């Protein structure tokens, strides 16, 4: 039996400093923190752990004592206490308040760079130098306090991702014959049988081989209703078993599970930042230098050219230095996009970076796949038209023999109809698949082929081609999908019907209301099916009978016509197009490795409404980012004017500067509530 005391603990190390214009408290979102995952391996995430050690609590302790000393200095001065006591309390507040900024500033100075911490230290030191030590201490205290509040804001945005990381248990119950062993996840191998008791969470991805139950997948997919599971059903790590006992055969190791890959993708999202954030990050160090020398020049100009007294000119220059520091500007974008990504994660939507939300808010054209996206993908075989020389059941059995190894939705419909008629598929030999065309083989000694109607003509006996053409014309006008089976040159026509999603029309309408000007559908189905679906959804256009490579080229053409585009597909067959589009959105892709790799945004549940929500979410995120940038820049401009004219005291300049930083962070947190 495994000793629970040996289970891996979660370890964190202090982040290494970075060269950035971002305040010290904001550094965790721009750097990696190694974390020990449930299987014991170290992985890099941008999560900030709960403060549990003295070292982690030290910034809060420091700012608290700095506040106590600052308050003591203020009260003592008001009460007329002796100057040595007032000076000692002020010095204590100044020293304690400078510690957080000094630690970060020293690391950047050693690299011959400047950041906001350096600006704050410089401003406080200059204030003390010109005889205003209390104002310098106040600046450092408020800077440290705003840093603590920003840290709190970050923890709020990271809560959804932290909860996702904590979903997976650290141990599994492995069945070895009749024996049960509790082991760590890294000791479990692919093919092992694990027991999932009622109330337990599934430890690893796998397939149910025994038992029946309902499983709550809401934490991963956002789906509110439990999903029924039985033998043959796929289950995913981190989902909760509701009531029944399940035995699961493991299909993926802990590092390869769906939840692990989601966590990794969301973690990597910080590297795919929006354009505004990249611009601020790029100009930040230069901006800091400009602020320092600009403030010095302003002070000298006020004194020598404006006739302002030396101490007053220095005082105004220090105020200008403080109000021009880009604290609020630096966090205006990253906190907003992290909050947006976290809010989406709670709905079971994986966004791989703020850049994709930014692009999604700006696109004006969209392309939908049909099968499995606008339709349910639950295709039914509704009719088989055979030549008089072929029995309908024989045609069905031959088709099933070829389709048994295919994952295409039409193949599933053929197999389902075979089972409904209680028939068995015969043996097939020389099986050959032609991507996008069809499947061929030999059944009962006769050559058999099934595939798209457009590729059937040359395989059919010449005297039967006109008859096949008439059948295809009738099927096409009826708006049904079709496949042609050719047995020894004799054709049979299989007609299929796909079901349109109930929410597809509402989704298209919501997208139009939110600014999409062109919405089209690309499909491999025939002209009649595509026309019928496009008409029902009032789409702006469609392109039918496309092979995978043709769909890709059509997407490129569509982009040239309409600019940046978003592509929405089921994430498997549409992987190349999803990867090529400016924003690729994969729907219903829980467990689909191809979708997780190819798409920029992945909807883990099978709900197309999420596409409309995403567009609205992207637009709202963009609005909040613009509000933050406008507020940050506006405060800098207004306070700079007051500072230069001497109409703002240094303490008020400090409060205005730090206050704008906190307001920007709180405004970004509103995105966490955007869930409807």
3-state secondary structure of 501: coil
Contacts of 476 (CB under 8 A, 6+ apart): 482, 526, 527, 528
Number of other CB atoms surrounding residue 389 within 10 Å: 9
Instruction: Name the phi and psi angles at 350, rounded to 5.
Output: -100, 115
- Residue 219's CB: how many other CB atoms inside 10 A? 22
Residue 563, sorted as left (phi over 0), alpha (psi -120 to 50) or beta, turns out to be: left
Q: Nearest 5 degrees, angle CA 577-CA 578-CA 580?
A: 60
Helices H, strands E: what count in the chain? 21, 24
Question: How many residues does the structure list for the chain?
Answer: 676
**Options 39, 117, 205, 369, the catalytic residue:** 369
- CB 203, CB 172: distance < 8 Å: yes
Q: CA-to-CA distance for 636 and 658, rounded, in angstroms?
A: 11
Q: Which two tokens stand for residue 191?
A: 């093919």
The 10 Å Cβ neighbour count of residue 51 is 14
The pair of structure tokens assigned to 174 is 């492995």
First-to-final CA distance of the chain = 47
Mapped to the 3 state alphabet, what secondary structure does 357-418 carry? HHHHHHCCEEEEEHHHHHECCCCEEEEEECCCCCCHHHHHHHHHHHHCCCCCHHHHHHHHHH
622, 358 contact by CB (below 8 A): yes
Task: Give me 266's structure tokens.
Answer: 């969301």
Q: Name, in order, each residue with C-beta under 8 angstroms of 178's C-beta and a sequence gap of 6 or more.
A: none
CB-based burial label for 5 (10 Å; 0-12, 13-18, 19+)? exposed
Q: Which among 296, 316, 297 is positioned nearest to 308, based on CA atoms?
A: 316
**Is the separation of the CB atoms in 673 and 637 below 8 Å?**
no
List phi, psi (to 5°) of 24: -55, -40
Active-site annotation holds for 369: yes
Which residues are catalytically annotated?
A: 369
């Amino acid at each position: 039996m495994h000793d629970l005391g040996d289970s891996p603990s979660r370890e964190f190390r202090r982040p290494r400093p970075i060269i950035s214009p971002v305040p010290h408290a904001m550094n965790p979102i721009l750097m990696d923190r190694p974390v020990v995952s449930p299987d014991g391996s170290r992985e890099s995430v941008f999560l900030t752990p709960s403060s549990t050690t003295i070292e982690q609590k030290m910034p809060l302790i420091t700012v608290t004592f700095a506040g106590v000393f600052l308050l003591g200095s203020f009260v003592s001065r008001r009460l007329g206490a002796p100057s040595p006591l007032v000076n000692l309390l002020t010095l204590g507040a100044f020293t304690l308040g400078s510690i957080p900024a000094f630690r970060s500033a020293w690391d950047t100075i050693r690299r011959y760079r400047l950041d906001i911490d350096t600006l704050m230290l410089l401003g406080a030191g200059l204030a003390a130098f010109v005889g205003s030590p209390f104002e310098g201490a106040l600046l450092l205290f408020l800077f440290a306090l705003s840093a603590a509040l920003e840290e709190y804001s970050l923890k709020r945005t990271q809560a959804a991702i932290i909860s996702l990381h904590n979903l997976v248990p650290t141990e599994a119950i492995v069945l070895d014959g009749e024996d049960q062993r509790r082991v760590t996840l890294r000791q479990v191998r692919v093919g092992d049988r694990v027991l999932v008791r009622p109330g337990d969470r599934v430890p690893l991805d796998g397939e149910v081989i025994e038992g029946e139950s309902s499983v709550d997948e809401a934490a991963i997919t956002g789906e509110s209703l439990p999903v029924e599971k039985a033998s043959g059903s796929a289950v995913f790590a981190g989902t909760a078993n509701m009531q029944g006992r399940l035995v699961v055969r493991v299909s993926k190791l802990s590092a390869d599970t769906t939840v692990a890959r989601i966590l990794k993708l969301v973690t990597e999202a910080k590297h795919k930042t929006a354009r505004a954030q990249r611009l601020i990050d790029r100009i930040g160090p230069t901006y800091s230098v400009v602020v320092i020398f600009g403030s010095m020049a302003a002070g000298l100009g006020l004194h020598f050219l404006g006739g302002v007294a030396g101490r007053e000119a220095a005082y105004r220059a220090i105020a200008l230095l403080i109000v021009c520091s880009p604290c609020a500007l630096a966090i205006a974008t990253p906190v907003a996009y992290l909050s947006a990504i976290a809010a989406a994660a709670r709905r079971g939507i994986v966004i791989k970076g703020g850049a994709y939300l930014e692009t999604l808010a700006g696109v004006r054209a969209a392309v939908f796949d049909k099968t499995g996206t606008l339709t349910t993908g639950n295709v039914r075989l509704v009719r088989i038209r055979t030549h008089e020389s072929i029995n309908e059941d024989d045609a069905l059995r031959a088709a099933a023999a070829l389709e048994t190894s295919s994952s295409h939705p039409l193949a599933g419909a053929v197999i389902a109809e075979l089972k409904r008629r209680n028939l068995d598929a015969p043996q097939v030999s020389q099986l050959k698949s032609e991507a996008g065309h069809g499947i061929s083989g030999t059944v009962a000694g006769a050559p058999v082929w099934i595939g798209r109607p457009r590729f059937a003509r040359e395989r059919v006996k010449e005297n039967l081609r006109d008859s096949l053409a008439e059948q295809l014309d009738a099927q096409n006008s009826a708006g049904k999908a079709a496949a042609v089976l050719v047995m020894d040159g004799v054709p049979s026509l299989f007609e299929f019907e796909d079901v349109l999603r109930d929410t597809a029309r509402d989704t298209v309408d919501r997208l139009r209301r939110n600014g999409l000007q062109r919405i089209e559908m690309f499909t491999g189905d025939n002209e009649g099916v595509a026309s019928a679906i496009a008409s029902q959804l009032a789409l702006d256009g469609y392109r039918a009978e496309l092979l995978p490579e043709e769909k890709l080229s059509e997407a490129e053409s569509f982009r040239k016509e309409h600019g940046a585009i978003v592509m929405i597909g089921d994430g498997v067959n549409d992987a190349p197009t999803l990867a090529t589009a400016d924003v690729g959105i994969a729907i219903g892709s829980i467990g689909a490795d191809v979708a997780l790799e190819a798409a920029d945004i992945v909807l883990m549940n099978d709900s197309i409404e999420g596409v409309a929500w995403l567009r609205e979410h992207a637009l709202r995120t963009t609005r909040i980012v613009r509000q933050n940038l406008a507020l940050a820049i506006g405060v800098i401009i207004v306070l700079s004017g007051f500072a230069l004219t001497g109409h703002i005291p240094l303490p008020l300049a400090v409060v205005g500067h730090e206050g704008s930083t906190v307001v920007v962070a709180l405004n970004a947190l509103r995105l966490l509530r955007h869930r409807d």
